Chain A
Amino acid sequence: MTDLSMTPTVKNDTPLLTVEHLTMRFGGLVAVNDVSFTARNSEITAIIGPNGAGKTTLFNCITGFYSPTVGRMTLRHPDGKEFLLERMPGYRISQQASVARTFQNIRLFGGMSVLENLMVAQHNKLIKASGFSIAGLLGLPSYTNVERESVELAKYWLDRVRLLEFADWEAGNLPYGAQRRLEIARAMCTEPVMLCLDEPAAGLNPRESADLAEILTFIRDDHKTGVLLIEHDMSVVMTISDHVVVLDYGRKISDGDPHFVKNDPAVIRAYLGEEEGEELPPEIAADLPEVAKRAEEGA
């Protein structure tokens, strides 16, 4: 049984998110199979694995887009409040449990301006202040004050992701990298305790990836937000994550700090293929030690 004892470093005692025995079946297909792990506050937890390993399915379970077949997901806020995510309808996970997410294929409100995107993110706060639009329609100061604060928060995050000068642009017109950053800013405008990022570095060039890593460490260190990250870009994963969970065929195969995971034989096997499963032709098998030796000398 894979349990929590594998987690080597413990920064703070109560984990932010505890996932226990999570299983998600689609008919006969088991996309996520009995996965348990924890994610901590002020830490970046990366979930990696080959294509089809069930990473995004796991994410969709955590953020309420799927309800898992089996399992429990507990979110503990720093102030002690607890939420059982598997029992909450999708939108409430963001509204009450303060979990924000981004998407693998960017989902911005393309026809709306950058600033409007960030205002929509603060919907729940604003609609309460607008008295479900009644105070807003009358233009009462109780609403306009909150709106001004929201614009300030939006400006803060736009400045953080270096999009402040683009505030009035149509979001759909931004370059790809800027859209990725805007999506993170939008998620952060909901003031989450946990931010879930689904492949934020996909399609970014090395320079943009480095920027992204900087933004994520800022979110972790200055906002004490837990970050849950799916990523294929190993340079990003290995440099910024504090904790890595590896999935393969829906199962957790490794869990630990980046250094531990990098050297875990199970992970190497999952990424590079089985050694014993394949029968190499004898002539190639005979050459292997020599090739390996030559490669070592070359390196």
Chain B
Amino acid sequence: MTAISVSSPRAIAWPAIIKEAALTAFVALLLTVPLVGLRTVDRPTGLGLETRWNEVVAAVGLVFLGRIGICLIREGQGVLVLVLAAAAAAAGFFIKMPTEALRIILIVGGAIIAIRAAMAVRTGRSKLSQAERDKRMDRIAAKVQDASRWLGPIGVVLALAFPLTPLADRQLLDIGILLLTYVMLGWGLNIVVGLAGLLDLGYVAFYAVGAYSYALLAHYFGLSFWLCLPLAGLLAAFSGVLLGFPVLRLRGDYFAIVTLGFGEIIRIILVNWYQFTGGPNGISGIPRPSFFGIADFTRTPAEGTMAFHEMFGLEFSALHRIIFLYYLILVLALVVNFFTLRVRKLPLGRAWEALREDDIACASLGINRTNMKLAAFAIAAMFGGFAGSFFATRQGFISPESFTFIESAIILAIVVLGGMGSQIGVVVATLLVIGLPEAFRELADYRMLAFGMGMVLIMLWRPRGLLAHRDPTILLYGRKGKGAGGPAAGTAAAGGEGIAGGRAK
């Protein structure tokens, strides 16, 4: 027993550690020289190169020291590393450094190593095994899932109350609308990816169909937003079925590639059908939404219509429209959420999850797989279409630029990061993926660096998404059974293992 105990004192193998650290630093050097060390700048004479050797040295130095720190943690010297790393982070924080980059690297790097060391000290071990870690993270996810029963309504109330507080200015409301749009798209895509298990890389196509449906219908026929919203949803659903028919016989990677292609086809049609869609110039002057067709959000409404502020006897404010848009997307997103939560408990939702688990077993049980998948596709596309027409009316201008592959990738990243099938996970992931870069806009270039780092950390710590935990949709013994011991309690304990084992392949 003592032989394998990590905490037993023994000599530290310095040469081996130094060698390992040097090797890691060398790899870091190879990576940082082109990535960090060289920078292209726009000069009047053309493109020029600028070098940033300070940052390279700082990064390589940090990797070297950090690796030594990790090795020492492994050797059971967690406390020492914790003190040193915390000191480094503090030094970066308080003492002025020659460059800003060095300072950030010092603080962030020091903090990460310090956290790592602190965890090692706390658990008394340098490393948790992957299974233990998974189990622990799953327990956290299960707790969050449990908490979402009351956390969800509180979140909704807060979101409803937010525009009425003095906090709500134009910028925050805009960020709120942006976040809610992505939450809605994430929830929509979650139906296809999370529930039905179909990897859709072209979800933005339906978003585009929705946006262009409204824009074109308003442009050519002068239809109002409230008429176009359901129409856009229908058209998007129709395009989903159209795509689904030939594609759903494919599986896995092949399916993903075809959806990717479909996303691009839609965008390229929009770019090239110049006479109809305005091509790369897009469509501008898309009408803003009215207050359910009753009143307009303008200071001086057109003949025969009413102004919103007159109707309610308020002072005119440009914010009214923004607040209205905020509530509109909030309601749309909640509709998607309500639908998903409800459909999971219905045969349709169960069939989707069963398809994700085992396609062939579904056929043996007499489930019409094509229809189920088409339904998932069409419904998700419809929600994408709703979000698209909302996007069009909010922006007042759309062009194919807004519907590139990167949009699909971001929405997919939100779903996957949040944990496939987890509704609250989508919200958390949206806050991370969209919210953080918005919040740290002043950090300019470094926000993408931080974003990438966050992704890597999540990959390491939670490879199946932040809150990947599945609650059964129907329980024979109720939720109380969990605490009462017996087999039901076994589920909670063994559940993590099962998911870990089951999805690891």
A113 lies within 8 A of B474 (CB): yes
Closest to B477 in A: A168
Closest to B470 in A: A111
Closest Cβ of chain B to A127, distance in Å, is 4
Contacting A168 at CB < 8 Å: which of B350, B362, B481?
Answer: B481
Task: Report the separation of the CA atoms of residues A39 and B245 in the bound assembly, to the nearest whole angstrom.
Answer: 38
B347 lies within 8 A of A126 (CB): yes
Given A91-B363, A94-B365, A126-B347, do A169 and B358 touch, yes or no (CB 8 Å)? Answer: no
A168 lies within 8 A of B473 (CB): no
Given A107-B358, A120-B351, do A94 and B494 touch, yes or no (CB 8 Å)? Answer: no
Task: Report the separation of the CA atoms of residues A165 and B249 in the bound assembly, to the nearest whole angstrom.
Answer: 38
Scan B444-483; emit 1 where CB is below 8 A from any A CB, else 0: 0000000000000000000000000010111111000100
Scan B476-505; emit 1 where CB is below 8 A from any A CB, else 0: 110001000011101100110111011100
B347 lies within 8 A of A91 (CB): no
B499: chain A residues at CB < 8 Å are 111, 170
Scan B312-353; emit 1 where CB is below 8 A from any A CB, else 0: 000000000000000000000000000100110011101101
Of A128-136, A232-240, A271-279, A284-292, the one contacting chain B is: A128-136
Closest Cβ of chain B to A273, distance in Å, is 35
Task: Report the separation of the CA atoms of residues A165 and B346 in the bound assembly, to the nearest whole angstrom.
Answer: 23
Among B366, B491, B501, the one with the most A-chain Cβ atoms within 10 Å of its Cβ is B366
Of A5-13, A95-103, A215-223, the one contacting chain B is: A95-103
A120 lies within 8 A of B366 (CB): no
B503 lies within 8 A of A111 (CB): yes
B357 lies within 8 A of A123 (CB): no
Task: Report the separation of the CA atoms of residues A282 and B494 in the bound assembly, to the nearest whole angstrom.
Answer: 62
Contacting A112 at CB < 8 Å: which of B343, B347, B353, B368?
Answer: B353
A187: chain B residues at CB < 8 Å are 364-365
Given A110-B357, A169-B491, A170-B498, do A116 and B476 touch, yes or no (CB 8 Å)? Answer: no
B486 lies within 8 A of A165 (CB): yes
B476 lies within 8 A of A155 (CB): yes
Closest Cβ of chain B to A100, distance in Å, is 7
Query: Within 8 Å of chain A (Cβ to Cβ): is B369?
Result: yes
Interface residues in A6-36 (C-beta closer than 8 Å to B):
none
Task: Report the separation of the CA atoms of residues A93 and B369 in the bound assembly, to the nearest whole angstrom.
Answer: 13
B347 lies within 8 A of A95 (CB): no
Count contacts on A: residues with CB < 8 A to the other chain: 48
Closest Cβ of chain B to A79, distance in Å, is 18
Interface residues in B23-70 (C-beta closer than 8 Å to A):
none
Closest to A137 in B: B342
Query: Within 8 Å of chain A (Cβ to Cβ): is B360?
Result: yes
A95 lies within 8 A of B497 (CB): no
B490 lies within 8 A of A109 (CB): no
Among B339, B348, B357, the one with the most A-chain Cβ atoms within 10 Å of its Cβ is B357
B343 lies within 8 A of A109 (CB): no
Query: Within 8 Å of chain A (Cβ to Cβ): is B156?
Result: no
A112 lies within 8 A of B365 (CB): no
Task: Report the separation of the CA atoms of residues A123 and B363 in the bound assembly, to the nearest whole angstrom.
Answer: 11
Closest Cβ of chain A to B194, distance in Å, is 12
A137 lies within 8 A of B350 (CB): no
Query: Within 8 Å of chain A (Cβ to Cβ): is B151?
Result: no
Closest to A102 in B: B364
B473 lies within 8 A of A116 (CB): yes
Interface residues in B409-452 (C-beta closer than 8 Å to A):
none
A124 lies within 8 A of B354 (CB): no
Scan A77-105; emit 1 where CB is below 8 A from any B CB, else 0: 00000000000001111111000110100
Closest Cβ of chain A to B196, distance in Å, is 13
B369: chain A residues at CB < 8 Å are 91
Scan A139-177; emit 1 where CB is below 8 A from any B CB, else 0: 000000000000100010000000001111110110000
B476 lies within 8 A of A170 (CB): no
Closest to A164 in B: B476
Closest Cβ of chain B to A59, distance in Å, is 11
Task: Report the separation of the CA atoms of residues A100 and B362 in the bound assembly, to the nearest whole angstrom.
Answer: 11
Query: Within 8 Å of chain A (Cβ to Cβ): is B128?
Result: no
10 A-B pairs closest in CB distance: A94-B366, A95-B366, A109-B357, A113-B472, A126-B347, A167-B476, A107-B361, A136-B346, A173-B498, A127-B347
What are 24 pairs between A and B in contact, CB < 8 Å?
A64-B363, A65-B360, A90-B364, A91-B369, A93-B366, A94-B365, A96-B366, A107-B364, A108-B358, A112-B472, A113-B475, A116-B472, A122-B347, A133-B343, A136-B346, A136-B347, A137-B342, A167-B476, A168-B475, A168-B477, A169-B487, A169-B490, A186-B365, A187-B365
